[in-house]
Amino acid sequence: MQRLTDTLKTWKYRIVSRRELMDLDAHMLRDIGLTDLEAQSEASKPFWRA
């Protein structure tokens, strides 16, 4: 049961963080070392893929 809970938490984290990534402008992305293309690529992944 704990493993299922951990998996669900991980998926939720990915959903939220990928949505937030799309809200960053080009300057903020540069600050974290990503290009627009890299951010789009990461944000377009399904939540179950790392």
Q: Distance (Å, rounded) from C-alpha 44 to C-alpha 23? A: 13
What is the model's pTM? 0.84
The alpha carbon of residue 39 and the mean position of all alpha carbons in its chain are separated, in whole angstroms, by 8
In degrees and rounded to multiples of 5, residue 35 shows phi and psi of: -95, 170
Q: Distance (Å, rounded) from C-alpha 6 to C-alpha 1? A: 9
pLDDT at 4: 98
Considering the chain, what is the average pLDDT of its residues? 97
User: Can you list the residues of the chain whose pLDDT is less than 70?
Assistant: none
